[in-house]
Amino acid sequence: MFVMLNTFLNEKEQNIASEIYRKYYSTMIYMAETILNDKEAAKDVVSESMIKIMKNLNKINDISCYKTRGYIVIIVRNTSLDYLKNKKVFVENADDYLNDIPDSDSSPIDNLVSEDNYNTIIKAIYSLPESMSNVLYLSAVEDLDNKHISKILNLSYNVVKERLSRAKKAIKKILKEADGVYDNKK
């Protein structure tokens, strides 16, 4: 991969890309493997994600900040999902993907998560428009607050708050339609 760096990046950009790769490789692999359940496919997705990151190095100001980590995680997540769509494969066993969702009252999928419904919830999250699913992902899985999400996605705090609200409503509607998985009376 680093041979490719020499072809279209200057020396400063090569150093930044190399540092990002070294710092976030394990995070990127973990994210891709969690979604894909396939180590070899995860390596391919990480390589493809690094290409996307290298094309957008101008969006990264500080390699070590939470904003950069969130940006990288979203790229790997979306690349993994694109891989699944292209292979026409859907995640059948997504239990591990949601293990990190906090149990706190601030979780955007509050009162929705139970062990029996993980797959249905994952499918619902994947079906949301990208703008809502990214916000929901950063909130639920990465456990970031609205302030941090707004900085990562370069959105206002109120826009993040509104998208989370819409995402919750959309998830509830999807789950309600999915054979009553979600019950408002609970």
What is the predicted pLDDT for the residue at 122? Answer: 66
Domain ranges of the chain: 1-89, 91-186
Give the 3-state secondary structure percentages of the chain, helix then strand then coil, rounded to 5.
70, 0, 30
- 63 in Cβ contact with 19 (< 8 Å): yes
In the chain, the percentage of residues whose pLDDT exceeds 90 is 19
pLDDT band at 109 (very low <50, low <70, confident <90, very high): very low
Q: pLDDT tens, 157-173?
A: 999 999 999 988 888 88
What is the predicted pLDDT for the residue at 169? Answer: 87
Architecture of domain 91-186: Orthogonal Bundle (1.10)
Look up the CATH number of domain 1-89.
1.10.1740
Q: Looking at the predicted structure, is the pLDDT value of residue 182 above 80?
A: no
Task: Say if residue 91 is exposed, middle or buried (CB neighbours under 10 Å; 0-12, 13-18, 19+).
Answer: buried
| Spatial distance between the Cα atoms of 133 and 121, rounded to a whole number of angstroms | 12
104: amino acid identity, one letter: S
